[in-house]
């Protein structure tokens, strides 16, 4: 573990102001000034949120980033690098094209690091807890690491902690949480995915600890997040929490949002691993009063059924956190960007998790995730009863012979239901899922998705696109 802070790690500053720039500057001032964090000729790496080619607050607040860069320059930093791994295999260049970051940062005297460009980025393989992590050599070699974290609601951890921000210091490949079944342990009951994910996040965090952590909650995305959805709402709190101990900064942020430490399994695990201060009484609070500034936030739903979507019926079974998160994003995506499609589709059912109950209709059934696919293999909805058509010549013959055909029982045949969309994976890949759904419904039934998919195809890396079968079957990988 690399330590790179001179500041007393028990100090955490809460600042409130009308301007994000002032809130950040005041916070650092309360902690003793930027020179306590950054030395002359230091190479500084600022890790920001760079999730997707989308507007604020999906990515960092640029005004906050600007103030931080200016402060680092004032402290005499030699080089200032800025970066982070985007989500869902999106390339940094795609985000740069949408935000125009590179030139803006260059004008400010900083450099945007594109980690998905093999020509300029190098990675060191670091083994933590018997797992190899692809960690940026640039970050390792930088004298100082700063985390500038935009705080929003998060479906798994309630809000996007700075510890989560650190996780995107490693490549998407290293971030992937493999499904590891332990003998004698129930994967779903124990929510092994979540435990493994927390372990991985803390492993990455422990590789190189930041010298300064800023939880920027000047603007806070509540309702649905951290991407922008129909239920998202941006509130202005004017608050910024900063300090040198990421765990302590996250804990104070948690307190400001009226969440107890016991409700945050990631901070509890950090406490077990002694990765930082997890006792508020041990923290030397500066600036605004903690109790007087607590805010009530509308957090994102913790049950998928609470996301109400037009013409869509949800049946959920036992579900792991990985599938929950992806289903949460898929459902919010549908609600936000598929208004018209959902009206045209008229009726669709979504089965998520292990052993979901039978859908009400046999039309347009989306089976989401490996667990759902596996446990519904022999369910009734997989087959439909169709009346077998009689041989025309035979029917005519019978009519000529004046046989009473109406008394005959119709011959019913069992056929495979082709109105099913299977989205395999644990969790399923978001982009692949959207492709499969579009392939099933087609352009005329899903015009909104078709247009949006064309937009996404511009910046999603081709590697994630896998062949998909024709209508009614699966997006097998």
227 Rama sector, left if φ>0, alpha if ψ -120 to 50, beta otherwise: beta
Cα–Cα nearest to 58, from 78, 86, 31: 86
Q: How far is the CB of 308 from another protein (least distance, A)?
A: 15
- With contact defined as beta carbons under 8 Å apart, do 367 and 421 qualify? yes
Q: Of 29 and 97, which CB lies nearer to another protein in the complex structure?
A: 97
Give the count of alpha carbons within 13 A of 236, CB side only. 6
Query: With helix as H, strand as E and coil as C, how does 233-264 read?
Result: EEEEEEEEEEECCHHHHHHHHHHHCCCCHHHC
List the interface residues with another protein, window 310-329 (CB under 8 A): none
**Contact flags string 376-415 toward another protein, x per CB under 8 A:** ----------------------------------------
- Which one of 22, 447, 465, 473 is in contact with another protein (CB under 8 A)? 447
Q: How far is the CB of 4 from another protein (least distance, A)?
A: 28
Near another protein by CB under 8 A, which window of 133-141, 258-266, 393-401, 450-458?
450-458
Sequence-distant (6+) residues with CB within 8 A of 212 are 5, 7, 28, 31, 37, 144, 146, 147, 242, 243, 244
Q: Should residue 22 be labelled a site residue for another protein when binding is judged by CB under 8 A?
A: no
List the interface residues with another protein, window 333-372 (CB under 8 A): 336-337, 339-340, 343-344
Q: Where are the beta strands (DSSP E) in 405-445?
A: 412-416, 420-423
List the interface residues with another protein, window 86-105 (CB under 8 A): 97-100, 103-104
The tokens for 226 are: 């951290």
Specify the residue for token string 């942020």.
253
Helix (H) or strand (E) holding 16: strand 11-16
Q: Should residue 55 be labelled a site residue for another protein when binding is judged by CB under 8 A?
A: yes
- With contact defined as beta carbons under 8 Å apart, do 213 and 245 qualify? yes
Q: How far is the CB of 456 from another protein (least distance, A)?
A: 8
Backbone φ and ψ of 450, nearest 5° = -60, -45
Q: How far is the CB of 363 from another protein (least distance, A)?
A: 17
Q: Should residue 232 be labelled a site residue for another protein when binding is judged by CB under 8 A?
A: yes
Specify the residue for token string 């995915």.
193
- Which one of 7, 126, 188, 230 is in contact with another protein (CB under 8 A)? 230
- Which one of 17, 32, 39, 66 is in contact with another protein (CB under 8 A)? 66
**Contact flags string 233-262 toward another protein, x per CB under 8 A:** xxxx--------------------------
Q: How far is the CB of 345 from another protein (least distance, A)?
A: 12
Q: Of 344 and 383, which CB lies nearer to another protein in the complex structure?
A: 344
Sequence-distant (6+) residues with CB within 8 A of 394 are none
**Cα 252 to the chain's mean position, in Å?**
23
**Contact flags string 107-126 toward another protein, x per CB under 8 A:** x-------------------
Specify the residue for token string 């490949």.
173
The tokens for 102 are: 């590179």
Distance CA 20, CA 195 (A): 35
Give the count of alpha carbons within 13 A of 256, CB side only. 30
Q: Of 278 and 435, which CB lies nearer to another protein in the complex structure?
A: 435
**Cα 427 to the chain's mean position, in Å?**
12
Near another protein by CB under 8 A, which window of 126-134, 223-231, 312-320, 354-362?
223-231
- Which one of 17, 311, 450, 474 is in contact with another protein (CB under 8 A)? 450
- DSSP-derived secondary structure for 310-343: TTEEEEE-B--HHHHHHHHHHHHHHHHH-HHHHH
List the interface residues with another protein, window 451-470 (CB under 8 A): 451, 454-455, 458-459
- Which one of 93, 206, 355, 448 is in contact with another protein (CB under 8 A)? 448
**Cα 276 to the chain's mean position, in Å?**
25
Q: How far is the CB of 264 from another protein (least distance, A)?
A: 26
Site for another protein, rule CB under 8 A: 53-58, 62-63, 66, 97-100, 103-104, 107, 219, 221, 227-228, 230, 232-236, 336-337, 339-340, 343-344, 443-444, 447-448, 450-451, 454-455, 458-459
């Amino acid at each position: 573990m690399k330590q790179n802070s001179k500041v007393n790690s028990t100090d955490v500053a809460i600042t409130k102001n009308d301007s994000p720039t002032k809130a950040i500057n005041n916070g650092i001032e309360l902690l003793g000034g930027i020179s306590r964090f950054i030395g002359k000729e230091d190479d500084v790496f600022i890790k920001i949120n760079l999730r997707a080619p989308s507007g604020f607050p999906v990515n960092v607040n640029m005004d906050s980033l600007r103030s931080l860069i200016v402060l680092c320059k004032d402290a005499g930093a030699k080089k200032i690098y800025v970066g982070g791994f985007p989500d869902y295999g999106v390339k940094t260049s795609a985000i740069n094209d949408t935000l125009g970051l590179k030139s803006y940062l260059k004008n400010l005297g900083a450099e945007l690091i594109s980690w998905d460009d093999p020509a300029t980025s190098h990675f060191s393989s670091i083994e933590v807890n018997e797992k190899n992590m692809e960690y940026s050599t640039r970050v390792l070699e930088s004298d100082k690491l700063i985390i500038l974290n935009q705080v929003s609601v998060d479906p798994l951890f309630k809000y996007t902690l700075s510890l989560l921000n650190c996780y995107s210091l490693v490549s998407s490949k290293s971030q992937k949480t493999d499904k590891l079944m332990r003998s004698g342990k129930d994967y779903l009951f124990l929510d092994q995915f979540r435990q493994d994910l927390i372990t991985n996040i803390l492993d990455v965090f422990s590789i190189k600890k930041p010298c300064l952590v800023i939880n920027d909650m000047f603007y806070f995305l509540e309702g649905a997040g951290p991407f922008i959805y129909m239920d998202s709402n941006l509130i202005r709190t004017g608050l910024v929490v900063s300090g040198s101990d990421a765990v302590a900064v996250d804990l104070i942020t948690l307190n400001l949002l009226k969440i107890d430490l016991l409700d945050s399994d990631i901070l509890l695990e950090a406490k077990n691993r002694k990765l930082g201060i997890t006792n508020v009484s041990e923290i030397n609070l500066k600036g605004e009063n903690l109790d007087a500034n607590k805010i009530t936030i509308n957090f994102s739903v913790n049950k998928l059924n609470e996301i109400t979507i037009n013409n869509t019926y949800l049946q959920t079974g036992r579900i792991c956190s990985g599938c929950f998160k992806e289903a949460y994003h898929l459902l919010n995506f549908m609600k936000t960007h598929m208004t018209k499609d959902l009206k045209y589709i008229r009726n669709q059912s979504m089965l998520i998790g292990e052993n979901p109950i039978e859908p009400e209709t046999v039309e347009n059934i989306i089976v989401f995730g490996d667990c759902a696919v596996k446990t519904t293999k022999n369910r009734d909805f997989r087959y439909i009863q169709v009346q077998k058509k009689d041989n025309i010549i035979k029917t005519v013959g019978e009519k000529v012979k004046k046989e009473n055909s109406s008394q005959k029982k119709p011959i019913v045949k069992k056929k495979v239901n082709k109105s099913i969309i299977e989205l395999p994976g644990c969790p399923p890949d978001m982009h692949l899922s959207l492709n499969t759904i579009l392939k099933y419904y087609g352009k005329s039934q899903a015009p909104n998705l078709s247009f949006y998919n064309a937009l996404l195809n511009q910046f999603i890396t081709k590697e994630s696109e896998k062949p998909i079968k024709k209508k009614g079957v699966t997006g097998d990988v």
